[in-house]
């Protein structure tokens, strides 16, 4: 019997791949009520269970796959699941949020979350149903692409499964490998795929059929019905389902923030070729969506011309910005090919685009030569050389082995001027928004809890309207407000945030739906308190792993400070370090962190994290009162 009236199903699955022991544990009320789900559970478990200094690719790292109380229910767009671990790319906390049928299949198998520890002796996958959990041999799947693997799993277990799968990149421990599902959904940018690979875990697969209880079904249904009607009557609905996030290409070009030639420029001459309009009118074949979503944003597109004709892939803004303009590729057919490869091989498109752009940038500036690149002449938009480079990265061959470490480590290895052109924060490559003239968005990247990702605070469109040049508390407050909502609420409820951010569904719906489904009485303010607590614990995790903190870790890429934009309406602009520092001071202050970015003792106490304070002090971190 579950401890809960609804939402949570009440059990956590723990699998030790070394000893092959499989255990069930009760989901405690504390964990459910205090940390809610998804990212909240991931950080709490990783903080409690990992020894400081754990090797991210060693058997002691733990993989967390976590749903939330609204995942897999009738809440709009609730087919999401969080995958998390200590990141091999950054050395800090890492997670991703993937649209996968795994979320509701896990819950319908009786589990809210899975903790995977140890390392298997040979390749395996996890097969989860209400009838039992098995560690199954995956020798026949090892080496296959994510697509081939999913086809094989569906052949063996039927079509009605949910999964997350790694490709050759994860197997070969490429530091920015992700998990993939449903032929084109990806998650876990900070190398969660490599953590799977290090455990010899090819996939996690579930098929469930049990009910997910809801405390007040009638209320939940009527709220969900209202929410869905509201979404579909939004004037932006039609364009959204036609283009999804791809419409951002045209916006970014206009706002001069489209990453181009390794963030050298914010505009791209061929942006129309790879834009949302071109995709919708010429290339899109099918609309794909996650579980329980009626605003499907998956743009399944097919190459029509040239040597990649008939290749298909799912396109999103980030994918196209980073594997298009940022590497100088101005052909949609080629962008589709590159995206397809990234999905099949299981690498993150953002980081892949960034490492390729970094290499070309260095080569073009004469910082590296054919001596370092295994004889390859690196040119912007040269598709054949780019394909060769990808092959080398995934196989970890020659120059590819250096790039497979991500731009930060590659730059350290190459040395000299190279770090100036490595576009990352804390080792995670920056997603597709140039911030030479966007200090608030730079702050958002700088303070994101997993390294430079836009998911926690995409403030750039707000900032462009509000005034790029302004430096004030409003900007800092906006970053924190977004972090609470996007990085907090949506990540612990573990549902898609796009109904809210793209089609304006009110946050009050999520609170009311949470209350109807769980039978509890929560308020938005309390959700925000929990979000801030999660942020503080994630920061503490980084501080513990790094043995202290320096504000420089929260700086955006050097290039934005040192190399001005060279083209477009914002040519000549660069970020001011002084302004950034001012914003960072305000940010730390608002979060209750000291001048170097470490949570103060009083802040930890406010969130009931006194044990965290003690542990930090034990490893030699000095905490301010
Ligand atoms: C996300 C990041 C994104 S964010 C994109 S496109 W985006 C890239 N997609 C990739 C891909 O595809 N293939 C690939 N090989 N690598 C990829 N890397 C990039 O990964 C994602 C959607 C999108 S599309 C966004 S914004 C929203 N993200 C959400 C989020 O983070 N949380 C949440 N509660 N809801 C969200 N809704 C939206 O979901 P990561 P997905 Mg992904 C092909 O997970 O690690 O955070 O990286 O999840 O199922 O692909 O959907 O313009
Ligand atoms: Fe999935 Fe897109 Fe729907 Fe969100 S809006 S649930 S990412 S299909």
Ligand nearest to the CA of 335: 1
Q: pLDDT at position 109, please? A: 98
What is the pLDDT averaged over residues 597-612? 98
Q: What mean pLDDT do residues 152-161 have? A: 98
Q: Which residue has the higher pLDDT, 257 or 2?
A: 257
The per-residue pLDDT for 381 is: 98
Q: Indicate whether 276 pLDDT > 80.
A: yes
Alpha-carbon distances of 161 from 103, 112, 440, rounded to whole Å: 10, 16, 41
Dump pLDDT digits (tens) for 427-457: 999 999 999 999 999 999 999 999 999 999 9
What is the number of the ligand closest to the CA of 78?
2
Q: Is the pLDDT of residue 297 over 80?
A: yes
Q: What is the pLDDT of residues 556-594, one digit of tens each?
A: 999 999 999 999 999 999 999 999 999 999 999 999 999
CA 547 to CA 533: how far, in whole Å? 21
% of the chain with per-residue pLDDT over 70: 100
Task: Using a pLDDT cut of 90, give the percent of the chain over it.
Answer: 99
Of 290, 355, 299, whose CA–CA distance to 496 is shortest? 290
244-429: CATH architecture? Orthogonal Bundle (1.10)
What's the pLDDT tens digit per position in 62-79? 999 999 999 999 999 999
pLDDT averaged over the chain? 97
Query: Do 73 and 41 touch, CB atoms closer than 8 A?
Result: no
- Res 241: pLDDT: 97
In DSSP notation, 104-152 reads HHHHTTT-SEEEEES--SS-EEEEEETTEEEEEE-TTTTT--HHHHHHH
For atom 4 of ligand 2, which residue has the closest CA?
Answer: 496
Average pLDDT (87-103) is 98
Return the ligand 1 atom nearest residue 490 CA: 34
Residue nearest to atom 2 of ligand 2 (CA): 297
Task: Give the full edge-to-edge strand order of the sheet including 63-66.
Answer: 21-26, 11-16, 113-117, 63-66, 80-86, 93-99
Which pLDDT score, from 0 to 100, does residue 470 have? Answer: 93
Q: Rounded to an integer, what distance in angstroms lies between the CA atom of residue 25 and that of residue 103? A: 18
Q: Give CATH for domain 439-503+523-618.
A: 1.10.599.10
At residue 179, φ and ψ (nearest 5 deg) are -100, 150
If one residue of 276, 313, 452, 455 were mutated to test the ligand 1 pocket, choosing by the most ligand atoms within 8 A of its CB, it would be 455
3-state SS of 507-526 is: HHHHHHHHHHHHCCCCCHHH
- CA of 288, closest atom in ligand 2: 8
CATH code of 11-206, in short, is 3.60.9.10
Cα of 248 from ligand 1 centre, angstroms: 14
Q: Which ligand sits nearest to residue 77's alpha carbon?
A: 2
Please check whether the two domains, 11-206 and 244-429, share a CATH topology.
no
Spatial distance between the Cα atoms of 453 and 442, rounded to a whole number of angstroms:
10
**DSSP 3-state of 246:** helix
Segments making up each domain of the chain, as ranges? 11-206, 244-429, 439-503+523-618
Task: Provide the token pair at 547.
Answer: 């043995």
Name the CA radius of gyration of the chain, rounded: 23
Determine the atom of ligand 2 nearest the C-alpha atom of 296.
8
Those residues with Cβ within 8 angstroms of residue 486's Cβ, 6 or more apart along the chain or in another chain: 455, 456, 457, 458, 497, 501
In the reported structure, the alpha carbon of residue 295 is separated from the centroid of ligand 2 by a whole-number distance in angstroms of: 7
Task: Place 2 in a pLDDT band, splitting at 50, 70 and 90.
Answer: confident
Ligand 1 mutation target, pool 339, 348, 356, most atoms within 8 A of CB: 348
pLDDT for position 1: 66
C-alpha 290 – ligand 2 centre gap (Å): 5
- The pLDDT score that the predictor gives to residue 3 is 86
| pLDDT value of residue 263 | 98
Counted residue by residue, the chain has a size of: 625
Side-by-side strand order, sheet with 284-288:
284-288, 298-302, 312-315
Q: Which ligand is nearest to the CA of 497?
A: 1
Instruction: Kindly give the distance from the C-alpha atom of residue 97 to the centroid of ligand 1, in angstroms, as a whole number.
Output: 7
What is the Cα 29 distance to its own chain's centre? 28
């Amino acid at each position: 019997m579950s401890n809960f009236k609804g939402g949570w199903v009440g059990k956590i699955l723990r699998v030790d791949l070394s000893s092959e022991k499989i255990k069930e544990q009760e989901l405690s009320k504390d964990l459910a009520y205090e940390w809610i789900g998804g990212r909240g559970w991931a950080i709490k478990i990783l903080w409690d269970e990992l020894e400081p200094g754990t090797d991210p690719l060693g058997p002691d790292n733990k993989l967390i796959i976590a749903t939330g109380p609204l995942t897999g229910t009738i809440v709009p767009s609730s087919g999401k699941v969080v995958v998390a671990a200590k990141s091999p790319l950054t050395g800090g906390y890492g997670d991703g949020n993937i649209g996968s049928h795994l979320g509701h299949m896990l819950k319908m198998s009786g589990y809210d979350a899975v903790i995977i520890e140890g390392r298997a002796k040979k390749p395996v996958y996890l097969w989860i149903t209400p009838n039992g959990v098995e560690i199954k041999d995956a020798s026949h799947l090892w080496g296959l692409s994510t697509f081939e693997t999913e086809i094989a799993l569906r052949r063996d277990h039927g079509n009605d499964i949910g999964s997350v799968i790694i490709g050759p990149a994860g197997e070969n421990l490429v530091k920015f490998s992700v998990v993939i599902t449903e032929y084109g959904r990806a998650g876990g940018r900070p190398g969660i795929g490599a953590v799977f690979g290090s455990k010899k875990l090819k996939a996690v697969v579930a098929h469930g059929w049990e009910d997910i209880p809801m405390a007040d079904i009638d209320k939940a249904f009527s709220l969900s019905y209202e929410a869905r009607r509201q979404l579909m009557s939004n004037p932006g609905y039609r364009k959204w389902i036609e283009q999804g996030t791809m419409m951002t290409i045209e916006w970014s070009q206009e706002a001069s923030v489209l990453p181009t030639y390794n963030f050298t420029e914010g505009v791209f001459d061929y942006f129309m070729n790879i834009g949302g309009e071109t995709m919708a009118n010429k290339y899109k074949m099918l609309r794909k969506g996650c579980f329980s979503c009626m605003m499907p944003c998956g743009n399944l597109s097919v190459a029509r011309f040239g040597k990649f004709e008939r290749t298909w892939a799912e396109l999103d803004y980030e994918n196209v910005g980073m594997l298009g303009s940022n590497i100088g590729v101005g052909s949609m057919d080629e962008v589709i090919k590159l995206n397809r490869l990234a999905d099949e091989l299981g690498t993150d498109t953002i980081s892949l685009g960034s490492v390729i752009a970094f290499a070309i940038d260095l080569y073009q500036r004469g910082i590296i030569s054919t001596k370092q690149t295994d004889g390859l002449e690196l040119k912007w938009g040269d598709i054949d050389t780019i394909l060769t480079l990808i092959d080398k990265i995934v196989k970890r061959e020659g120059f590819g082995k250096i790039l497979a470490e991500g731009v930060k480590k590659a730059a350290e290895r190459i040395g000299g001027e190279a770090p100036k052109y490595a576009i990352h924060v804390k080792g995670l490559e920056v997603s597709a928004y140039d911030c030479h003239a966007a200090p608030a968005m730079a702050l958002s990247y700088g303070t994101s809890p997993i390294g430079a990702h836009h998911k926690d605070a995409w403030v750039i469109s707000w900032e462009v309207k509000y005034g790029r040049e302004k430096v004030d508390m409003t900007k800092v407050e906006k970053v924190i407000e977004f972090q609470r909502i996007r990085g907090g609420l949506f990540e612990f409820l573990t549902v898609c945030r796009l109904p809210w951010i793209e089609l304006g569904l009110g946050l009050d719906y999520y609170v009311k739906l949470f209350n109807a489904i769980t039978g509890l009485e929560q308020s938005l303010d309390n959700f925000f308190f929990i979000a801030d607590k999660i942020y503080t614990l994630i920061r503490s995790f980084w501080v513990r792993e790094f043995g202290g903190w320096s504000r420089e870790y929260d700086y955006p890429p050097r290039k934005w400070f040192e190399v001005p934009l060279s083209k477009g309406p914002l040519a000549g602009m660069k970020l001011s370090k002084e302004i950034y520092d001012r914003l960072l001071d305000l940010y730390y202050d608002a979060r209750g962190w000291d001048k170097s970015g470490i949570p103060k003792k009083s802040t930890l106490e406010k969130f009931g994290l006194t044990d965290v304070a003690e542990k930090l002090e034990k490893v030699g971190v000095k905490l301010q009162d």
